[in-house]
């Protein structure tokens, strides 16, 4: 398989060693003449175009500047838009689809705080115009343990009055503003920009008009913050504090803590003795008067035993045992009712509202996986509603079922046939480890990488009978390299569907209906404000100073990834390395192979462009 087969004769030299070196130099000159060696007498790199000729059409890359990372490598990271599934992209006048969200506890609960929509007077639903691919999935939180989420299609609705839609939009706006503490400096609410609305649902699986009417006149779910009581004595009504979410009126600032009422302490009043560990005050009345300058008019009102409403809104992954124990052992605090505002929504409903960001994230990612399957593969879903629950270790179960007859696993995969592709299998392959989800693509990537090497080796061996093994290895290497896989994935919009970042709804989550102000977006990019600081912007006048401080902080720090500017919109964009995208393609190959066998995997490669 040598590229040069003629005899080479060197000059006559004084000894054998020099004669060998002379012959070697003559051979190098010959190899340079035929293009096998470059001007430095090193092996010349064969152009990608020549190696991939007749195998795949890879779009040309833009010229790479000196010092920049090469395409297909881990060091090259680029910003991509986060794709939103078709069902969530637009909501125009016409026929809407109403879905009911059921949230139920599963297994033994380690706490007396339960979230169960089936036992609540008010539940939640979704309104959108597209068909949602959905299946039961689990959410986790130590406050209430594991819960199973199911989405049920109720009916199509049309001809609804503009007044009703306006109230639904207002309810949707209020709960997102309160839950995620939307920064009004950055965002405007545009109802037409939302493709999905969250709605309150009654027990009869109909839209709950009582809740909509209750909040329709409110500008915020929190009453105006007032540090002193109104004239006259405060009148305590116990019914207002049952199953209630409260917040201190004396706290000011960007974030206001919220609490849920655990118990009404009838044996405690504002004049009760303050805890001995804090000897600065003799009573609760003295404490609130001295620290907050708050006035309490009713000395007979009972105190409230309350616990913090958790700020964590990512329930996609089980918490660590240490974190769970810490949360469950958190102590309650005693609050004065007169100094607290009451959320107009019951606590039993608010627990469901807190699950909405995780639910929307999971539904969006599942539907994106389904759209990818419909676009790039012939194997489609057999039903829009998948009754079987998401099983995170599904790949192990597939292997176990495949080997029930003690058959060779490789033979089983070859013979395996399926016309059904669960979207979660593809979501598994689209989820990076950095997403910190309950699963990632790592294991599927190993399977897909091995199959890709085998199937391309077989193809080239059978197709190119005249090429020697060295040429076949070169061709195969270029065909399955990260650069090729990355380029083909971009053509199919795979990067936009990848789940890459740890979900923090207020910082990088899906905000239906809330659009960043164009002027703000322009200024943030002009001053090159880092993506992780966008959510903390309070005043546009300080942007320039903040950008300068960020530049000073970053001086002298060598960037390991050579990412360049990290200025992008974290709510609608994310940054991915070329290698991560290529890894996701390999994991997709593994998912199709494990689910549908070799035919499904080969079909995926064909549709991808290989």
- Cβ-based neighbour number of residue 15 at 10 Å: 7
CA dist 420 to 74, 265, 383, Å? 34, 57, 9
- Between 22 and 471, residue with greater pLDDT: 22
**Model confidence pLDDT, tens digit, residues 193-242:** 888 999 999 988 899 999 999 999 899 888 654 434 455 678 888 889 99
CATH 1.10.1520.10 for the 360-501+577-608 domain, yes or no = yes
Distance CA(18)–CA(10), nearest Å, equals 9
**DSSP string of 132-148, one letter each residue:** PPB--EEEEETTTEEEE
Secondary structure of residue 339 in the 3-state scheme: helix
Domain extents for the chain?
89-221+351-355, 238-343, 360-501+577-608
| DSSP classification of residue 74 | S
> Confidence class of residue 445 from pLDDT cuts 50, 70 and 90?
very high
Average pLDDT rounded to a whole number, residues 269-283: 81
Strand partners, 515: 188
Return all residues near 210 (Cβ < 8 A) that are at least 6 apart: 202
Helix/strand/coil for 425: helix
Which of 3-7, 12-16, 275-279, 457-461 has the least mean pLDDT? Answer: 275-279
Helix or strand holding residue 351 (H, E)? helix 347-376
Q: Mean pLDDT over residues 327-333, rounded?
A: 66
Contact partners, residue 281, CB within 8 Å, separation at least 6: 274, 287, 290
What strands lie across the sheet with 303-308, from one edge to the other?
333-335, 303-308, 259-265, 245-248, 340-342
Is residue 244 predicted with pLDDT exceeding 80?
yes
- Write down the H helix ranges in 377-441: 394-402, 409-415, 423-429
Higher pLDDT: 36 or 339? It is 339
User: Which CATH number does 238-343 carry?
Assistant: 2.170.260.10
Supply the pLDDT for residue 498. Answer: 96
- pLDDT, tens digit (0-9, with 9 covering 90-100), for 106-152: 876 656 677 888 888 899 999 998 889 888 899 988 777 888 999 99
DSSP secondary-structure letter at 575? E
What percent of the chain shows pLDDT beyond 70? 82
Residue 220: both structure tokens together: 């915020």
Lowest mean pLDDT among 98-102, 379-383, 553-557, 595-599: 379-383
**Looking at residue 552, what is its pLDDT?**
59
CA 167/CA 608 separation, integer angstroms: 45
Three-state DSSP at 149 gives strand
Point out which residues pair with 260 in neighbouring strands.
Answer: 245, 307
Q: Can you tell me the distance from the alpha carbon of 423 to that of 241, in angstroms, rounded to the nearest whole number?
A: 43
Distances (CA, A) of 344 to 6, 244, 278, 610: 91, 8, 33, 57
Strand partners, 193: none
The pLDDT of 160-177, averaged and rounded, is 92
Which residues lie closer than 8 Å to 29 by C-beta, 6 or more apart? none
Distance CA 54, CA 448 (A): 23
Reported as type and span, the H/E element at residue 440 is none
Give the model's confidence band at 277: pLDDT under 50 very low, under 70 low, under 90 confident, else very high. Answer: low
Q: What are phi and psi of 232, to 5 degrees?
A: 100, 165
Q: In the structure, what pLDDT confidence band is assigned to residue 562 with cuts at 50, 70 and 90?
A: very low
**Residue 126 contacts residue 99 (beta carbons within 8 Å):** yes
Q: Kindly state the DSSP code that residue 197 receives in the 8-state scheme.
A: E
pLDDT reported for residue 42: 84
**For 294-297, which contacts have Cβ atoms below 8 Å and span 24 or more sequence positions?**
294/227, 294/228, 294/249, 294/250, 294/336, 294/339, 295/228, 295/229, 296/229, 296/234, 296/270, 296/336, 296/338, 296/339, 297/229, 297/232, 297/233, 297/234, 297/338
**Interval 448-506: pLDDT, tens:** 999 999 999 998 898 888 878 888 888 888 888 999 999 999 999 999 999 999 999 99
Alpha-carbon span 83 to 610, nearest angstrom: 24
pLDDT at 378: 60
Which neighbouring-strand residues pair with 153? 99
Sign of torsion, CA 464 467 468 473?
Answer: negative
Give the integer Cα–Cα distance in Å for 251 and 244: 19
Mean pLDDT of 83-96: 85
At 381 the pLDDT is 42
Say whether pLDDT at 556 is over 50: no
- How is residue 185 annotated by DSSP? T
Q: Cβ distance 488 to 58 under 8 Å?
A: yes
Q: Specify the DSSP element, H or E, that contains 156.
A: strand 145-157
Q: What share of the chain is helix, strand, coil (3-state, %, to 5)?
A: 40, 15, 45
Give the SS3 label for residue 97. strand
* Reported pTM: 0.86
Of 328-342, 414-428, 459-473, 509-523, the least confident: 414-428
pLDDT confidence of residue 559: 45
| CA-closest candidate to residue 440, choices 580, 592, 601, 603 | 580
372 has pLDDT over 80? yes
Q: Pick the residue with more confidence: 391 or 556?
A: 391
Average pLDDT for 323-343: 76
Residue 37: the pLDDT is: 86
First-to-final CA distance of the chain? 27
* Residue 216 half-sphere exposure toward CB, CA atoms < 13 A: 14
What pLDDT does 207 receive? 93
Per-residue CA distances from 454 to 87, 402, 459, 552, 598 (Å): 38, 21, 9, 51, 11
132: nearest Cα among 352, 364, 358: 364
pLDDT on residue 394? 55
Calculate the average pLDDT of the chain.
84
Residues, the chain, total?
Answer: 610
In the predicted structure, residue 329 carries a pLDDT above the cut 70: no
SS3 of 117, please? helix
pLDDT mean over 239-266: 88
The string of pLDDT tens digits covering residues 341-365 is 999 999 999 999 999 999 999 999 9
Q: What does each C-alpha distance from 413 to 399, 470, 595 come to in angstroms?
A: 9, 30, 9
The C-alpha atoms of residue 493 and residue 572 are separated, in whole angstroms, by 15
Whether the CB-CB separation of 89 and 194 falls below 8 Å is answered with no
Backbone angles phi, psi at 576, to 5 degrees: -130, 145
Judging by DSSP bridges, how do beta strands 340-342 and 333-335 pair with one another? Answer: unpaired
Query: With contact defined as beta carbons under 8 Å apart, do 506 and 570 qualify?
Result: no
**Does the pLDDT value for residue 379 go beyond 60?**
no
């Amino acid at each position: 398989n040598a590229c040069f087969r003629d005899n080479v004769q060197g000059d006559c030299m004084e000894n054998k060693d020099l004669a060998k070196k002379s012959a070697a130099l003559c051979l190098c000159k010959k190899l340079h003449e035929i293009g096998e060696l470059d001007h430095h007498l090193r092996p010349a790199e064969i152009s990608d175009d020549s190696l991939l000729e007749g195998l795949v059409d890879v779009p040309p890359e833009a010229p790479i500047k000196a010092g920049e990372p090469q395409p297909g490598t881990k060091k090259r990271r680029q910003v991509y838009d986060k794709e939103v599934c078709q069902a969530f992209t637009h909501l125009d006048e016409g026929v809407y689809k109403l879905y009911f969200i059921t949230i139920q506890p599963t297994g033994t609960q380690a706490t007396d705080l339960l979230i169960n929509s089936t036992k609540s007077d008010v539940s939640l639903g979704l309104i959108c115009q597209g068909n949602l691919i959905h299946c039961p999935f689990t959410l986790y939180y130590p406050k209430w343990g594991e819960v199973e989420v199911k989405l049920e299609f109720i009916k199509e609705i049309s001809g609804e009055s503009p007044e009703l839609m306006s109230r639904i939009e207002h309810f949707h706006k209020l709960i997102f503003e309160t839950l995620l503490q939307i920064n009004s400096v950055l965002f405007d609410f545009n109802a037409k920009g939302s493709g999905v609305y969250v709605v309150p649902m009654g027990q009869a699986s109909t839209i709950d008009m009582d809740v909509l009417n209750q909040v329709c006149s409110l500008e915020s779910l929190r009453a105006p913050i007032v540090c002193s009581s109104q004239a006259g004595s405060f009148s305590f009504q116990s019914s207002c504090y049952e199953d209630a979410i409260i917040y201190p009126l004396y706290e000011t600032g960007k974030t206001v803590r919220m609490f849920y009422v655990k118990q009404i302490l009838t044996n405690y009043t504002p004049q009760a003795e303050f805890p001995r560990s804090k000897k600065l005050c003799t009573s609760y009345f003295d404490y609130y008067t001295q620290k907050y300058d708050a006035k309490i008019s009713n000395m007979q009102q009972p105190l409230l035993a309350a616990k913090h409403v958790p700020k964590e809104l990512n329930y996609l992954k089980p918490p660590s045992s240490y974190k769970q124990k810490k949360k469950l052992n958190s102590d309650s605090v005693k609050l004065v009712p007169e100094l607290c505002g009451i959320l107009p929504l019951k606590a039993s409903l608010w627990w469901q509202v807190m699950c909405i960001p995780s639910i929307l994230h999971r539904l969006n990612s599942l539907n994106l996986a389904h759209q990818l399957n419909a676009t790039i593969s012939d194997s489609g879903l057999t039903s829009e509603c998948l009754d079987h629950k998401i099983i995170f270790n599904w790949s192990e179960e597939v292997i176990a079922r495949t080997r029930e007859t003690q058959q060779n696993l490789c033979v089983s995969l070859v013979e395996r046939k399926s016309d059904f592709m669960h979207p979660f299998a593809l979501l598994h392959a689209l989820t990076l480890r950095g997403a910190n989800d309950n699963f990632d693509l790592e294991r599927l990537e190993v399977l897909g990488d091995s199959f890709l090497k085998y199937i391309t080796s077989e193809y080239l061996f059978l197709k190119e009978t005249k090429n020697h093994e060295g040429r076949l290895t070169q061709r195969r290497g270029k065909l399955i390299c990260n650069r090729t896989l990355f380029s083909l994935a971009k053509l199919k919009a795979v990067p936009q569907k990848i789940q890459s970042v740890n979900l923090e709804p207020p910082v990088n989550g899906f905000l239906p209906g809330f659009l960043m102000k164009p002027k703000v977006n322009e200024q943030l990019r002009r001053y090159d404000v880092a993506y992780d600081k966008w959510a903390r912007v309070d005043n546009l006048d300080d942007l320039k100073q903040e950008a300068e401080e960020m530049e000073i902080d970053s001086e002298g720090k060598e960037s390991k990834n050579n990412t360049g500017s990290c200025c992008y919109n974290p709510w609608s964009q994310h940054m991915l390395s070329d290698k991560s995208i290529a890894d996701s393609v390999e994991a997709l190959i593994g998912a199709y192979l494990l689910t549908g066998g070799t035919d499904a995997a080969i079909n995926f490669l064909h549709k991808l462009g290989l």
